[in-house]
Amino acid sequence: MAAKNQQTQKPNKRKQFSSTKTDKDGSKSKMPKLLSSTPSSTNPSNKLLKKPFNSSKPKREHPTHSKFKKSESGNDNKELTKRERRIQAKELAEARKKKRKPHYTLEQELASLWEKMRRRNIAKEDRSKLITEALQKMKGKIPEIAGSHVSSRVLQTCVKYCSQIERDAVFSELQPHLLTLSCNAYAVHLVKKMFDAASKKQLAGVISSLRGHVASLLRHMVGSVVIEHAYQLGNATQKQELLMELYSTELHLFKDLASIKESRLIDIISKLDLQKSSVLRHMSSVIQPILEKGIVDHSMIHRVLIEYLDIADKSSAADIIQQLSGPLLVRMIHTRDGSKIGMLCVKHGSAKERKKIIKGMKGHISKIARDQCGCMVLVGIVSMVDDTKLITKIIIRELQTTLKELALDKSARRLLLQLLHPNCSRYLNADGLASLNLTVPSLSSKNESEIKSKKLSRDEESSKEAAKSDIPEENLDEESTKEVATTDSDMEATESGKGDIPEENLNSAEGGKKDPSLRRRELLVNSGLAENLIDVCIENAEELLTSNFGKEVIFEVAKGGSDGILHPTLDEKLNNLHEAIAELAAKPKSDESEEEHVLENFHSSRTIRKLILDCPAFASSLWKKSLEGKCQLWAQGHSSKVVSAFWESSDSEVRKVAKEELQPLVDDGTLKIPETKQSANEN
């Protein structure tokens, strides 16, 4: 209670101390202390006390302050509620927007219509009415409101669903302002939509209107999207028209020169007799700002870079490769030309630049491997780069986590097959093999000089060896001449890509100094990739065998790779894989089962047949576990190809094992063997 009394008395004491004053005569004054004190004339500092602390002049308040507002009940002193203040703030914001945006009211009306017309469950007639109403409201104002984030979306929906007459009206209103709208972040989507809906005549007019502005738009982050979209939609002639402006000043200024049929820049230069140095300067002025801004995602730019590298001098080409080497290259390899640029950078880049390229791909390897064009860059890396430790750390480690998906993927399997069977025309098409052999002309001269120097050194060595040997002096010149002639023929065969190399390896990639077989072994066997791949094949044997793409991977793995690269290190694992396939083939034939038997499936039957012909160890395991005594059952349909493979095998042991059981089936015509195969077998 005492504490409570102290709390209640304390304010009174403060009030008494601050508001009352005892005069000399003992009387109390209720005036404030500063007002009650009489200023002394002798003390100049008391002049400051003449003006009271609390001035009698009241502080001016803003007219919009809440205490000046009248409430709805008419009480002036009552403040506004939170809801009323929120409504008032909203009204003020609306008023400011109306003042700032001349078409604000129209945009609000269009947004309301858009919410109705974009519904999925709306009838076509109702949508058409709403679209017609919206277009009527926008008529004559479309270029002004197309840059708004609201109106742009409304226009896109209108263009998508409106009639052709209405679409043409919108197109004709927008066409004069196309260049301005192409650089607007919101209007660019409408421009692309108009391109998609344009007729051939309208598209040709649009591409012609872009003439003279291609280079400037390509340097713009938003405008480059419009140029790329027009480039993708145009035919070959229109694409050439857009590209010509980037090649030369003459082609930019004179439209008639751009109408030639040649598509390659080097052919255009020779036909029109253009100055190569002038073309290079013009292209450099176009390309450099684009690369500095990092606008490298578009296929049009990739095409220009390919043409530039084809005619560039050594220093210019090296500069471009240096600029592109790194994370920038990852954004380019999704197109055909971009993939070629990637392989050129890998082939001609220095060790430091190659390291940058591989590190830039970190975290994106699986995605790149699944890309139709990007996978070829990875194929080039494993075929050319000698730093196998870096490749294992960044590329192989990431691949090992998704081996099953990669083996079943149309594009990603190529990387695995390149390691198992390099440069095979069965797995890489002609364009892919040719791209591995691409070179930059100005940079490949280094390789030619190296070949010549190697040739000279070999000539010197052969002459020294001949001098040291016991060849008589009169035969010395003859022997050395023969060796030099042999060396020359070998070098010519190497340069032309011929010689004792198999046909499938004629297009082998260059660029690395390490022995290709050693590089393959380090990447495939020493890294642990092959062991993991065999485990995946054992676990998913049936799925891979019956897959259109996975069958090739399991075939190469079960065979042991080309040149027997998986033998003898992984023989035990390979035997387990052979057993797993044989167990699938040993399953009983059943007509009731929904799943096809592996011996009757189109893909798996042919894969097993190829394994029998190419891998005697597998053929022996399959015969003992699955087919011995059951050939009569499997002698018809797709499975007959598997059975006949034992008869056609080039291995005598395989034929000997199966001949006793197959001979009666061949004699009575149950098992049909081609005459050529039958005669070869008898011989």
Quick check: is 548 in a domain? Answer: yes
Domain count, the chain: 2
pTM: 0.76
Rounded Cα–Cα distance for residues 642 and 644 (Å): 6
Read off the amino acid at residue 133.
E
Among 197, 219, 252, the domain-final residue is: 197
The residue segments making up the domain with residue 182 are 93-197
- Contact (CB, 8 A) for 304 and 243: yes
Question: Is residue 501 one of the residues assigned to a domain?
Answer: no
Residue 453 confidence (pLDDT): 53
Using the 3D structure, point to which of 131, 165, 197 is the last residue of a domain.
197
pLDDT band at 48 (very low <50, low <70, confident <90, very high): very low
Neighbours of 112 (CB within 10 A): 11
Confidence of residue 594 (pLDDT cuts 50, 70, 90): confident
With 90 as the cut, is the pLDDT of residue 454 above it? no
For helices 265-272 and 276-293, give the axis angle rounded to 10 degrees.
Answer: 150
Helices (H), 597-651: 602-614, 616-622, 639-648
- Report if residue 364 sits inside a domain: no
Checking if the pLDDT of 446 tops 70, the result is: no
Is the pLDDT at 100 greater than 80, yes or no?
no
Is it the case that residue 669 has pLDDT exceeding 70? yes
Kindly state whether residue 561 falls inside one of the protein's structural domains. yes
Residues forming beta bridges with residue 21, ordered by sequence position: 29
How many other C-beta atoms lie within 10 A of the C-beta of residue 10?
10
Q: DSSP letter string over 135-201?
A: HHHHTTTHHHHTTSTTHHHHHHHHHHHS-HHHHHHHHHHHGGGHHHHHTSTTHHHHHHHHHHH--HH
* Domain stop point among 197, 212, 244: 197
Q: In angstroms, rounded to a whole number, what is the distance separating the alpha carbons of residues 444 and 486? A: 25
- Contact (Cβ atoms closer than 8 angstroms) between residue 399 and residue 406: yes
The predicted-structure confidence for 322-379, as pLDDT tens digits, reads as follows 999 988 999 999 999 999 999 999 999 999 999 999 999 999 999 999 999 999 999 9
Domain annotation covers residue 656: yes
Radius of gyration, alpha carbons of the chain: 42
pLDDT digits (tens, 9 = 90+) for 404-439: 999 999 999 999 999 999 999 999 999 999 999 999
Is residue 461 situated within a structural domain?
no
Confidence at 106, pLDDT banded by 50, 70, 90: confident
Task: Convert the pLDDT of each residue in 635-665 to its tens digit.
Answer: 888 899 999 999 888 888 898 888 889 888 8
Q: Which helix (H) or strand (E) holds 227?
A: helix 223-233
Name the pLDDT band for 682 (thresholds 50, 70, 90). low
CA distance 282 to 263: 18
Please, are residues 574 and 560 in contact by the beta-carbon 8 Å criterion?
yes
What secondary structure does DSSP assign to 318-339, as a single string?
Answer: HHHHHHHTTHHHHTTTTSHHHH
In a domain, 111, yes or no: yes
- Judge whether 658 lies within some domain: yes
Tokens 């890998």: give the residue.
346
Distance CA 223, CA 229 (A): 10
- The answer on pLDDT for 517 being more than 50 is yes
pLDDT at position 479 over 90: no
**Span 118-134, mean pLDDT?**
92
Q: Give the pLDDT score at 102.
A: 75
DSSP state of 394: I
Partner residues linked to 22 by β-bridges = 28
